[in-house]
Amino acid sequence: MLILRKSALLALSSLLIVGAAAPAFAESVWDRHHPRRDQVNDRIAYQERRITQERREGELSRGQARAMREQLRGVRTEERADARLHGGHITRLQQAQLNRDLNATSWEIGR
């Protein structure tokens, strides 16, 4: 019985250690090499989740949600086009413009 408890405790502590270290491994190589694009894409994903949540809660109509998602698709298309011009990266100025576009969409979601 004592051996079983020790092995269970060891297994549990191993899971906790691995679980605590998991966020350190969450960042991919792509994220590290394309931090500006990663930031923009993370904001797009977050706003998509907000739209879905607001739609579920009845705060947005189907048409409003569709229009906002279309705006986000436009930002993503612009981000990809900008990246094609610079070998897969976007410049600080391009990132600033994309963030301004995302700020406008974020404001619309929150109204």
**For 69-94, how does the pLDDT look when each residue is reduced to its tens digit (9 = 90+)?**
999 999 999 999 999 999 999 999 99
Return mean pLDDT, the chain.
Answer: 84
Indicate the DSSP class of residue 57. Answer: T
Q: Has residue 21 got a pLDDT over 60?
A: no
Mean pLDDT computed over 32-61: 94
Mean pLDDT computed over 28-34: 76
CA distance 94 to 78: 9
Q: Has residue 15 got a pLDDT over 70?
A: no
* pLDDT band (50, 70, 90) for residue 28: confident
Cα torsion angle, 32, 36, 41, 47, sign: positive
